[in-house]
């Protein structure tokens, strides 16, 4: 999970600096794996404009670009990106600059006979996104030619390792909540949403009642007359900091809400939906083209989001190209749903699909965040793209499987070894989102909807210890035991016999407790032997009634190997 101090401060009121936040995160069990600069480490990279782009005379896939870098003369750069074109604002790296991804130092070179001074950069090459297909496309309204692309803001990206039992911390707000619970600031309230929503959504949504239905609740809002466009610079930077490629204001908004609130959203081009949305089980052989440009053939009972014409996407995993949004999109349907983790996990494994939404749904999303996510996504889209929003539509219902937990206040000190007051217990549990009431000496605790991992009193004790600090647990001194003889009488007698016989030149043998019945009968004084019902081999079919049988067998094997001069002994049980 990736975040930054400024992003955390959207949810957390704190005066703590970056180092204090990092230290506290580790203390409360959210391991910080890496901290890196958001803006790179070079002042060499500058904003430029491609004035003219023309085909390279000696290479079909290369272009010659005349680039304005804010100086009197244009710079000539040979570029292989297919999206290089006249008027494009992008990022220029001059000769001498070191590319962050490859650590390659640039120099002026001839490429197919044409001299190239520096290079035009992709987001991948300067650690700004995972996109390797083309060079960066900047919003010309927000960039000045010749200015440094990496501004020295000091912003750092924090990469946190989130354990599978903490899906709530796959959102920035969940991390901020834990920091606030530990005393590092105060969690801010979510802003109230006030939007005039007069009309009902024209697109009907239904969840088909079927066995193994993978969707419990489907929330949606219809937004008409939007003007989809490039995201504003602040949103682009947020998306790039996550390692994603900015696509459009609508798509970037859904990604932002997913990382901000741990609430995956999906946007459909409403004009491409055939009449209505039907959430149902898929049928074997159905197929659709997904947003990763791959075609998937479905098995029975996968959660399919469909319309009258067929499958639009896989619920909670990936959408389809048929209903995907574009810059020309005018009306959208924004989805916020709850999909059952088991269904998501099974489907993604069969089809080998891995997405950020799937990663969250298979761990368990807060079912109560459906409305919150819809409202935030709706407000951002209206603010950036304009339009009018319908009333929210939420269909379906899931059973609240949370159980009230009885917590004995004295049990904490018995288990952990140090005490905290009942007032502290109440404060910590309330800050984590729990509901509670006292019943005698017990505390009745209802865990929050975003914590499916809290099921028993020991889970609450773990949470209290985590927030209070593992360093508070006292060290336990090793118990002092009375020193006794290392060997008892029988053991001493056994070792005495071993040493005595060995001192006469005998070699000790340690053989099986099993032996061959024919050999054992030669030395046994017993009329019956103990047979094995499942011997490991046919010549080890009884428990030995004498030590001689295995010693004779051992002597025979040694003689066959030309070790004829030997004396063997064994001390052990017979049966």
Please give the domain boundaries of the chain with CATH numbers for all domains: 2-38+154-187 (3.30.56.10), 46-142 (2.40.50.140), 204-396 (3.50.40.10), 405-472 (3.30.56.10), 489-569 (3.30.930.10)
pLDDT at 411: 86
- Region of 183 (left: φ > 0; alpha: ψ -120 to 50; beta: rest) is left
Phi and psi at residue 478, in whole multiples of 5°?
A: -65, 140
pLDDT at 153: 54
For β-strands 276-281 and 204-207, DSSP reports them as parallel
3-class state of residue 542 by DSSP: strand
pTM score of the predicted model: 0.72
Instruction: At 519, list the tokens.
Output: 């050999």
Of 509, 529, 532, nearest to 519 by C-alpha is 529
Of 273, 276, 257, 277, nearest to 265 by C-alpha is 257
Low-confidence ranges of the chain (pLDDT < 70): 38-42, 127-131, 140-143, 151-154, 479-485, 526-527
pLDDT at 142: 54
pLDDT at 173: 94
> What 8-state DSSP symbol labels residue 218?
E
3-class state of residue 298 by DSSP: coil
pLDDT at 129: 66
Scan for tokens 């030590």, then name that residue.
547
3-class state of residue 268 by DSSP: strand
> What 8-state DSSP symbol labels residue 232?
P
CB 175 within 8 A of CB 373: no
The residues, ordered by sequence, that sit 6+ positions from 217 with a Cβ below 8 Å of its Cβ are: 337, 338, 367, 370, 394, 395, 396, 397, 398
- Tally helices (H) and strands (E) across the chain: 14, 31
pLDDT at 244: 83
Instruction: At 554, list the tokens.
Output: 């051992």
Scan for tokens 């990469």, then name that residue.
159
Distance CA 463, CA 434 (A): 11
pLDDT at 481: 65
Half-sphere exposure of 422 (CA within 13 A, CB side): 13
């Amino acid at each position: 999970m990736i975040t930054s101090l400024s992003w955390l401060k959207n949810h957390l009121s704190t005066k703590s600096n970056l180092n204090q936040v990092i230290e506290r995160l580790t203390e409360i069990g959210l391991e910080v794996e890496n901290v890196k600069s958001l803006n790179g480490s070079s002042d060499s990279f500058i904003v430029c404009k491609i004035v003219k782009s023309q085909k390279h005379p000696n290479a079909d896939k290369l272009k010659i670009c005349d680039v304005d870098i804010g100086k009197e003369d244009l710079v000539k750069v040979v570029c292989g990106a297919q999206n290089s074109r006249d008027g494009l604002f992008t990022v220029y790296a001059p000769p001498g600059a070191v590319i962050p991804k490859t650590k390659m130092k640039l120099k002026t070179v001839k490429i197919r006979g044409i001299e190239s001074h520096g290079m035009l950069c992709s987001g991948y090459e300067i650690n700004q996104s995972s996109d390797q297909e083309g060079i960066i496309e900047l919003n010309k309204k927000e960039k000045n030619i010749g200015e440094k692309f990496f501004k020295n803001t000091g912003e750092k990206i924090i990469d946190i390792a989130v354990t599978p039992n903490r899906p709530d911390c796959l959102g920035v707000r969940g991390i901020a909540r834990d920091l606030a619970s530990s005393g590092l600031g105060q969690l801010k309230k979510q802003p109230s949403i006030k939007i005039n929503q007069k009309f009902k959504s024209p697109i009907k949504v239904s969840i088909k009642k079927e066995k193994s239905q993978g969707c419990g609740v489907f929330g949606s809002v219809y937004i008409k007359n939007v003007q989809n466009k490039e995201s504003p610079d602040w949103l682009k930077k947020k998306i790039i900091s996550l390692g994603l490629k900015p696509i459009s204001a609508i798509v970037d908004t859904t990604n932002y809400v997913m990382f901000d609130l741990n609430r995956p959203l999906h946007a459909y081009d409403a004009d491409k939906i055939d009449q209505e949305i039907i959430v149902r089980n898929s049928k074997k052989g159905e197929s659709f083209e997904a947003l990763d440009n791959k075609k998937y053939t479905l098995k029975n009972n996968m959660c399919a989001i469909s319309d009258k014409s067929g499958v639009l996407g896989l619920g909670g995993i990936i959408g389809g190209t048929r209903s995907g949004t574009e810059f020309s999109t005018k009306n959208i349907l924004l989805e916020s749903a709850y999909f059952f983790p088991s269904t998501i996990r099974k489907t993604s494994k069969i089809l080998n699909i891995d997405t950020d939404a799937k990663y969250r749904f298979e761990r368990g999303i807060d079912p109560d965040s459906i409305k919150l996510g819809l409202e935030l996504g709706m407000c951002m889209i209206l603010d950036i793209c304009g339009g009018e929003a319908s009333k929210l539509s939420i269909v379906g219902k899931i059973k609240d499987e949370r159980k009230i937990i009885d917590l004995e206040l004295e049990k904490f000190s018995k288990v952990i070894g140090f005490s905290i007051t009942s007032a502290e217990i109440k404060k910590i549990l309330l800050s984590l989102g729990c509901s509670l009431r006292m019943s005698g000496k017990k505390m009745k605790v209802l865990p929050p909807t975003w914590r499916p991992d809290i099921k028993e009193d020991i889970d609450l004790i773990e949470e209290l210890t985590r927030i209070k600090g593992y360093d508070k647990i006292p060290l336990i001194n090793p118990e002092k035991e009375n020193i006794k003889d290392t060997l008892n009488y029988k053991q001493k007698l056994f070792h005495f016999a071993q040493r005595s016989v060995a001192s006469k030149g005998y070699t000790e043998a340690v053989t099986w407790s099993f032996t061959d019945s024919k050999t054992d009968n030669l030395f046994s004084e017993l009329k019956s032997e103990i047979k094995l019902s499942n011997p490991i081999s046919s010549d080890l079919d009884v428990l030995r009634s004498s030590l001689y049988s295995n010693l004779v067998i051992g002597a025979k094997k040694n003689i066959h190997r030309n070790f004829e001069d030997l004396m063997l002994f064994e001390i052990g049980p017979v049966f």
